Amino acid sequence: MVGLFRTLLIFATVYIVIRFLSRYVFPILLGNFVEKKVSHMNRNATTDNNPTPRREGEVTIDTPSDSKKKISKNTGDYVDFEEINN
């Protein structure tokens, strides 16, 4: 009987703690996380949208450095083949 009462008391305590955390603590933590992410994104957006000033009519092409795959000379040879039906 004591074991049953103790188990029910533990379940009730865990339930009350989880309800308290979900109602008060989690929203505060989530709000702080979202505010940090929004401010970080705003900082990045303001620095990325201000490119260096260029004269009118000047054309520049920005390409990423890894735009093409680099294949080494030692990858092997291409072998053409035919299917043979027996």
Q: What is the pLDDT of residues 13-69, one digit of tens each?
A: 999 999 998 999 999 999 999 999 999 988 887 765 556 677 888 887 777 766 566
Phi, psi dihedral angles at 35 (to 5 degrees): -60, -40
Regarding pTM above 0.75, the answer is no
Which residue intervals of 1-86 are DSSP H helices?
Answer: 2-20, 26-48
The CA distance from 7 to 3, in Å, is 6
- The structural domains of the chain, with segments of one domain joined by +, span 1-46
Q: Are 30 and 22 in contact (CB under 8 A)?
A: no
DSSP state of 22: I
The CA distance from 23 to 55, in Å, is 56
